[in-house]
Structure 1
């Protein structure tokens, strides 16, 4: 995903040698596997322990881990996928040697699949890597017509962060289990100077979850092309719930959750709830340490009890270029990083959600991450088409939301937005 969902620990310079972690040779018959990982996805200590364990258990392989910046990574990956096999110079990537494994954002995978150059990983994922247990929000963007190219690594998604003291003051004893209970609780919390919830009018990621809960979609593939579907009855029901919830606070109708940053609004105001990744609690406490011990977390409620609401899931997948000169080594790295041992360890270290719902026990001890893991089991991604990037670049969903929240007719505005999405999805990426 292009926007990072969590504030993470930076990679220390002591681990780096140029652009990569110091490799361990290449003599005595050992082969070097080059892996591109994104900055802040894993801590230096995790990478050190993983490298030591991997090289100890794979006596014929060395790892060369090269840390990449998210900014500008797209063209760099595209250059790597198009380079001639065995190009020791790294082609146009600016690196010494081509990667054998690359970490990419889960919503970026469709674009790389469309451009070609990815290895088909279907057989390994079905046979060895437990594909039937993966989180759908990570797995689905990595597929095209039943072929698996992206292998889920880690996930993050939104939860409800709430003020325990304001819940107690309003007589709301426990986090709500259903959307109906959530609305009722938020009405009780929205009294006097307090806001029941701070929900910006253009938080389209949160709206997406409500639409999915109703059985709707942002867009669907029909007759060989993609069409916007915000004007379906199901999608309109999702927008109506968003409108009712958003009215129980003072969130701006014409801005998203970053304008102003909702962490600051929550930290300095009488706000009972926000919808955000749990890692945002750190920023809240930095701005208002008096809230220490007063913050709680629960999954975004769904229509029925016992099943959290659908949420947009961001995170990373691992891909293998077709031009790798060490297919076996690349597969060994992917299998190890995404396997139960190290995927669970990464989740514990970085406050992520593991790539399989049944591994959520790894983060059960952290309230916010545990709530996130429950929601991730119902996680989804944006429509799996490379042209979706065009939609996000000039997002008609945001304008649609503002129009409805300021009194526009929902059906009329939804038709306009759907037509615009359809037009955007018919424009090939350059």
Structure 2
């Protein structure tokens, strides 16, 4: 294992630097592969193990990790793709790939994904955003999605012994849980990622593509049914109709002890227990229920893909690094270390015993991503979906409000 360079914030370097002493210098044929990773995406331990293993197997390669903040990463990646000093591998959000692919600066990884990585078995919520016009530009790395986190004591007090498998059962137990001194579920009115799952479950879309042209689709009958279900569920608690899940943070609300359920990533449990240690050991998890018991509900899949810039100095070596990171060996290691969902459903077995992650992995089989348009980031920046949801929850006509929001989505997808 060679001494390697790590760049980024001083505090981050000190926490994850892969230092050492007494290592032999690299030979004259050594190559440095520069990898941009997002801050806190992996632990020091995982990176230590991967780097040592990889460099032992590839003695002429030295890995250099440069850590980036999510804030402002879009323009920074675009600049790197168009410049002459691009890194060899970049970790990007799965929904960002289309934007970067439109720049023309990404390597086509279709051959590697089919030949070496078993792309036919990837989670759709990670694989689909990385594929543009049939070409694979982003290689799925890891995923995360929302589940239902529930208070076991409150479920027991309400006499609920079986977890819901369908939406109908979910509404039923949430009604039983909702009382004068207890919220059946805390669901903020503008949690649009959750709404997206309900819309997809009904067969609807946030936006539709026709011949390369995108249009907002919140007014379709299926999308309106998804919004109607959201309204039913949201009414079984005291969540604000005009704010999202961060205003106030729903974990803080849940930690008070009188909320039976929230919809969040399993990692939120740590924040809840930190705010209220009395809840430690009293939290449970289940996948968001679907329309039938045959499969869980659709969920938005967030996570990361790995890309290779066309102008990378070590393009071939960068592809080799991605192939290793996306392999079964390191997917297993990453899932166990970070409690992520691995990029293939078949690998979910490696997180057995981790209740929250297991529920997340089950839900991930029905994972989806936002519309695969290079301009979707512009939609989220303005986000007409949020005020649409508030308007409907406050009594506005769903069809009329959906039409207005869809028009704004269409404008953004057309003009960026």
TM-score (norm: length of structure 1): 0.91
* SS at structure 2 position matched to 1:391: helix
**Distance in 2 separating the partners of 1:122 and 1:81:** 19
Pairs within 5 Å for 1:4-83? 11=12, 13=14, 15-16=16-17, 25-83=25-83
Pair 1:286-2:286 in alignment: no
Q: Deviations over 1:56-92 (max 9, x none)?
A: 11233221122222222222211221123xxxxx3xx
CA contact (8 A) 2:16 2:43 kept: no
Which of residues 254, 258, 270 is equivalent to 2:258?
Answer: 270
Q: Deviations over 1:306-353 (max 9, x none)?
A: 301000011100000111222321111000001111111111111111
CA contact (8 A) 1:217 1:229 kept: yes
Partner of 1:251: 239
Pairs within 5 Å for 1:230-245? 230-245=218-233
Pair 1:367-2:355 in alignment: yes
Q: Deviations over 1:130-169 (max 9, x none)?
A: 1001111111111111000000000011000001111111
1:197 Cα shift? 0.2
**Distance in 2 separating the partners of 1:167 and 1:50:** 42
CA contact (8 A) 2:186 2:238 kept: yes
Pairs within 5 Å for 1:202-221? 202-221=190-209
Partner of 2:177: 189
Q: Which moved more, 1:107-116 or 1:325-334?
A: 325-334
Which of residues 312, 316, 332 is equivalent to 1:328?
Answer: 316
Pair 1:377-2:365 in alignment: yes
Pair 1:317-2:296 in alignment: no
CA contact (8 A) 2:309 2:315 kept: no
Listed as ranges, the gaps of 5+ residues in structure 2 are: 1-10
CA contact (8 A) 1:24 1:62 kept: no
Partner of 2:334: 346
Structure 1 consecutive aligned stretches of length 4 or more whose deviation exceeds 6 Å? none
Partner of 2:7: none
Pair 1:402-2:390 in alignment: yes
Pair 1:224-2:212 in alignment: yes
* SS at structure 2 position matched to 1:371: helix
* SS at structure 1 position matched to 2:396: coil
* SS at structure 2 position matched to 1:426: helix
1:32 Cα shift? 1.6
**Distance in 2 separating the partners of 1:76 and 1:400:** 32
Q: 1:231 to 1:390 in 2, by over 3 A?
A: same
1:224 Cα shift? 2.7
Partner of 1:138: 126
Q: Deviations over 1:10-57 (max 9, x none)?
A: 955154399xxxx98542422221111111000011101100000111
CA contact (8 A) 1:11 1:44 kept: no
TM-score (norm: length of structure 2): 0.94
Supply the RMSD in Å over aligned alpha carbons.
1.6
Q: Which moved more, 1:387-396 or 1:175-184?
A: 387-396
1:363 Cα shift? 1.2
Q: 1:14 to 1:409 in 2, by over 3 A?
A: closer
Q: How many pairs were matched up? A: 403
Partner of 1:416: 404
Q: Which moved more, 1:208-217 or 1:26-35?
A: 26-35
CA contact (8 A) 2:299 2:367 kept: yes
Pair 1:391-2:390 in alignment: no
**Distance in 2 separating the partners of 1:180 and 1:161:** 18
Pair 1:164-2:152 in alignment: yes
**Distance in 2 separating the partners of 1:221 and 1:279:** 34
**Distance in 2 separating the partners of 1:420 and 1:363:** 41
Q: 1:334 to 1:413 in 2, by over 3 A?
A: same
* SS at structure 2 position matched to 1:66: strand
**Distance in 2 separating the partners of 1:390 and 1:293:** 41
Q: 1:14 to 1:311 in 2, by over 3 A?
A: closer
CA contact (8 A) 2:190 2:386 kept: yes
CA contact (8 A) 1:11 1:43 kept: no
* SS at structure 2 position matched to 1:335: helix
* SS at structure 1 position matched to 2:143: strand
CA contact (8 A) 1:26 1:32 kept: no
